[in-house]
Amino acid sequence: MKVLANDGISASGKEALTATGHELLEITVAQDKLIDYINKNNVDVLLVRSATTVRKDLIDACPNLKIIGRGGVGMDNIDVEYAREQGRHVINTPAASSQSVAELVMAHMYGMVRFMHDSNRQMPLEGDSNFKKLKKNYANGIELKGKTLGVIGFGRIGQAVAKLALGVGMHVVYHDPVATVSSLSLEFFGGQKVDIPVQNLPLNDVLKQSDFITPHIPGGKLIGKKEIEMMKDGAGIINTARGGVVVEEDLIEALNSGKIKYAGLDVFVGEPAPAITVLMNPHVSLTPHIGAATLEAQDRIGTELSDLINEIANKMA
């Protein structure tokens, strides 16, 4: 098959695809020229990440396109149901990035509770002139050990986050209307394992009990003014799921009032141009949608996509 990886693919993915006889097109085509390129070059497989969209117009205009693949979990940039109704295969890699996203959640939490997101901004500006003042400003950090983490959505990523949190001594509760997980197995270096119980609680209970909340759902407005009011005073929210899952206006209001003390955001409503009120708020730890952007995750994404393409190609042969 002829494969266009329009948003790039890892070296391991390239190797896996070409080793099994596929032709890989290593080019990034502008969105407005994509339909013409796919048709002129008889592309069978279009692989995208978050930069390229695959909507109804492209699906209708490219009848020879057999497979649409998303390197990552969410597929909100693809008209998935419509594509499948038209007989196209739509694939993604939900397992490949779980560890990377989970570690970013923990990175935000560790950084927030020691004010690293702000001290990294201020030290270059004032470190040489106001060192003692800055030291005093950032002297009221807290430890994560002993705190309660509420995980909303307990799929692969939610469970990966929970395992890391349990590993540093946090108490974990979660809410998921369909999950039946009662314990998690933590694996340590050297092959040691330990099972730790976790509780699936109603959403309101998770919000009320948790020191930190991290949602891991595919979209929708989950945490707004009403939900924030239920949370502990001085709690924290980390959103690496989808922009808008945490209502940004309500979050900023809560940060400014002191109701919420910590916030970490990797995803934004206005990507790729997030609201300036979010970007400039000194209480927010910010990353530019890099949850799955590790070398290890990219390797796993590439090889997993290759495996899925081979599986479909073999069935079609």
For the question of residue 242 being annotated catalytic, the response is yes
* pLDDT on residue 73: 83
Tell me what percent of the chain is helix, strand and coil, each rounded to the nearest 5: 40, 20, 40
Q: What Å distances lie between residue 92 and 69, 153, 195, 276, CA to CA?
A: 6, 19, 30, 32
Cβ-in-10-Å burial (0-12, 13-18, 19+) of 115 comes to: buried
- Among residues 88, 242, 283, 300, the one annotated as catalytic is 242
**291 with 264: CB under 8 angstroms?**
no
Question: In 6-79, where does DSSP find H-type helix?
Answer: 11-19, 34-40, 56-61
Tell me the per-residue pLDDT of 48-89, one tens digit each, with 9 for 90 and over. Answer: 988 899 999 999 999 999 999 999 888 889 999 999 999 999
Q: What Å distances lie between residue 232 and 174, 200, 229, 284, CA to CA?
A: 16, 19, 8, 18
Tell me the backbone φ, ψ of residue 80, rounded to 5 degrees.
Answer: -65, -55
Tell me the per-residue pLDDT of 36-46, one tens digit each, with 9 for 90 and over. Answer: 999 999 999 99
51: Cα separation from own chain's centroid: 15
Q: What percent of the chain shows pLDDT beyond 70?
A: 100
Tell me the per-residue pLDDT of 191-203, one tens digit each, with 9 for 90 and over. Answer: 899 999 999 999 9
* pLDDT on residue 136: 96
HSE, side-chain direction, 13 A CA sphere, residue 1: 26
* pLDDT on residue 50: 83
As a whole number of angstroms, the distance between CA 41 and CA 287 comes to 37
Place 190 in a pLDDT band, splitting at 50, 70 and 90.
confident
CATH class of segment(s) 2-94+295-316: alpha beta
* pLDDT on residue 222: 97
Q: What Å distances lie between residue 157 and 112, 216, 235, CA to CA?
A: 21, 7, 21
Q: Could you give the 3-state DSSP secondary structure of residue 260?
A: strand
Q: How many CB atoms lie within 10 A of CB 116?
A: 17
Just give the CATH number of 98-286. 3.40.50.720
Tell me the per-residue pLDDT of 251-283, one tens digit each, with 9 for 90 and over. Answer: 999 999 999 999 999 999 999 899 999 999 999
- Among residues 15, 114, 253, 289, the one annotated as catalytic is 289
pLDDT of 317 > 80? The answer is no
User: What residue spans define the domains of the chain?
Assistant: 2-94+295-316, 98-286
Tell me the per-residue pLDDT of 142-175, one tens digit each, with 9 for 90 and over. Answer: 999 999 999 999 999 999 999 999 999 999 999 9
**Dihedral over alpha carbons 109, 253, 153, 99 (to 10 degrees):** -30
For the question of residue 289 being annotated catalytic, the response is yes
- Among residues 143, 271, 296, 311, the one annotated as catalytic is 271
Give the predicted TM-score (pTM) of the model: 0.89
For the question of residue 22 being annotated catalytic, the response is no
pLDDT of 27 > 80? The answer is yes
* pLDDT on residue 53: 96
pLDDT of 92 > 90? The answer is yes
Cβ-in-10-Å burial (0-12, 13-18, 19+) of 42 comes to: exposed
Same topology for domains 2-94+295-316 and 98-286, yes or no?
yes
Tell me the pLDDT of the chain averaged across its residues.
96
HSE, side-chain direction, 13 A CA sphere, residue 193: 5
Query: Euclidean distance between the first and final Cα of the chain, in Å?
Result: 11
**210 with 231: CB under 8 angstroms?**
yes
What is the mean pLDDT of the segment spanning 10-19? 93
